[in-house]
Amino acid sequence: MTGRKLYLYFFSGTGNAKSVTTWIKNVASDLGYDVSAHDISDRERLLAYHREKGSTIGFISPTHGFNFPPIMLHFLFRFPNGKGQKAFLVNTRGGLKMGKYFLPGLSGMAQYGSALLLLLKGYRIVGMHPIDLPSNWISLHPGLKAKVIRSIFEKRKEETIMFATKILRGKRDLKALRDLVQDVLITPVGILYYFFGRYFLAKSFIASADCNICGQCIKSCPVKAINLVGGRPFWTYKCESCMKCMNHCPERAIETAHGFLTVVIVLVNTFVLYFVYDGLKLGGWLNGSGWLPYVSSIIFDSAVFLLCIFAAYRLMHFLKRFTPFERMATYTSLTRYAFWRRYRPKKHIKKM
Ligand SMILES: Cc1cc2nc3c(=O)[nH]c(=O)nc-3n(C[C@H](O)[C@H](O)[C@H](O)COP(=O)(O)O)c2cc1C
Ligand code: SF4
Ligand code: SF4
């Protein structure tokens, strides 16, 4: 076989995509490939991309908001053109387990959008495969139980090994295309997430009074999204909500501020939008029929919403220096309570 070189480029917030990368790497080594894996958040070391003739290239990343996260999308955009080289894409999704049933996540445009881009860049797509590892989105739901995480990992490790063996032996595996209809249908939500949703989520994290300013979250954030403002961690718009900081804080001091978000959502929907529409006399056109007013009103409402949340987050960060406000923000965060587990897959991978 020609092209026994394999380059794996991965991004991982909480370790799922990293595990998949390791499993593929092991398969490749067993099959005699000269394989290397590169964390794309370590961009300084990736200035020279590897694209030797005949090499195979794999991209592995979590799914965020029905797409690859911006860090991976930007990497793919900047990736140099191929010359007919083989490439494959793996998106780890948020899988769940109910009783004995394994529930899949949703890819949206993660697979088909990125595959199209790579095709346009001259690559030959030999693999498009989602891997449903445990959902790490603990801002949205409590972390899964250790037993469930372990069982999902065992199942998906086998699936990954089968996928890697197949494509590295020269066959194709385009499993992701089976979900194409549902993925295309969910795409508008993915677009809204990319332009608005992720900025909203960036303003959902707070550090409680348990934070001892150790700086670990600031140092380990893959996109350097946390700054010290007023001597305390402050999440900037660069945050991609990868969940790394929240899962690794040694003091378990990082919370998702559910109470704060609820107050902002209610205030914006009941007062702010009403006054803005009324004040700017926009109600008539934006409430009109047809797709243009409909799409425009979504964009307009989202923009107003983002402005409000940015201002409210700043204000809350300032007020949190006063104990009653700090308590209010922290104790109305569901993540504060023990039943809302964190997501620590590394512990479970080691046991396997
Ligand atoms: C902000 C955010 C958005 C997510 N969006 C999706 C999604 O659209 N579809 C999905 O299947 N899983 C989604 N997930 C779950 C993750 O993609 C999944 O748990 C992934 O395996 C995490 O990989 P990592 O540990 O390498 O970061 C989301 C998780 C987060 C934190
Ligand atoms: S890792 Fe935790 S304790 Fe350390 S600075 Fe960040 S929030 Fe504070
Ligand atoms: S701030 Fe936290 S959640 Fe946001 S990108 Fe950095 S590590 Fe991930």
pLDDT tens per residue, the chain (352 residues)?
445 899 999 999 999 999 999 999 999 999 999 999 999 987 655 655 666 678 899 999 999 999 999 999 999 999 989 888 999 999 999 999 999 999 999 999 999 999 999 999 999 999 999 999 999 999 999 999 999 999 999 999 999 999 999 999 999 999 999 999 999 999 999 999 999 999 999 999 999 999 999 999 999 999 999 999 999 999 999 999 999 999 999 999 999 999 999 999 999 988 888 787 777 766 666 677 778 878 888 888 889 899 999 999 999 999 999 999 999 999 999 999 999 988 877 655 444 3
- The protein residue whose alpha carbon is closest to atom 29 in ligand 1 is 137
Cβ 58 under 6 angstroms from ligand 1: no
User: What is the model's pLDDT at position 347?
Assistant: 53
User: What is the model's pLDDT at position 321?
Assistant: 94
Cβ 212 under 6 angstroms from ligand 2: yes
Phi, psi of 58, rounded to the nearest 5 degrees: -120, 140
Cβ 302 under 6 angstroms from ligand 2: no
- The protein residue whose alpha carbon is closest to atom 4 in ligand 3 is 239
User: What is the model's pLDDT at position 313?
Assistant: 96
- The protein residue whose alpha carbon is closest to atom 2 in ligand 3 is 245
Question: Where are the alpha helices (H) located in the chain, listed in sequence order?
Answer: 16-30, 70-78, 110-120, 146-168, 180-192, 198-202, 216-220, 244-248, 258-267, 273-279, 283-286, 291-319, 323-331, 345-351
User: What is the model's pLDDT at position 260?
Assistant: 95
Among 208, 210, 212, 217, which is best to mutate for testing ligand 2, by the most ligand atoms less than 8 A from CB?
A: 217
Q: In ligand 1, which atom is closest to the CA atom of 66? A: 8
- The protein residue whose alpha carbon is closest to atom 8 in ligand 2 is 211
Cα 335 to averaged position of ligand 1 atoms, centre (Å): 17
User: What is the model's pLDDT at position 281?
Assistant: 67
Closest alpha carbon to 79 in 38, 26, 27, 36: 38
User: What is the model's pLDDT at position 276?
Assistant: 77
Cα 220 to averaged position of ligand 2 atoms, centre (Å): 11
Residues sharing a CB contact under 8 Å with residue 225, sequence separation 6 or more, in sequence order: 202, 235, 236, 237, 238, 239, 240
Cβ 136 under 6 angstroms from ligand 1: yes
Domain with CATH 3.30.70.20 in the chain: 195-336
User: What is the model's pLDDT at position 352?
Assistant: 38
Ligand whose nearest atom lies closest to the CA of 12: 1
CATH topology of domain 5-186: Rossmann fold (3.40.50)
Domain with CATH 3.40.50.360 in the chain: 5-186
Give the separation between CA 63 and CA 106, rounded to whole angstroms: 8
User: What is the model's pLDDT at position 26?
Assistant: 98
Cα 94 to averaged position of ligand 1 atoms, centre (Å): 5
pTM for this prediction? 0.92
The answer regarding whether domain 195-336 maps to CATH 3.40.50.10860 reads no
Cα 228 to averaged position of ligand 3 atoms, centre (Å): 14
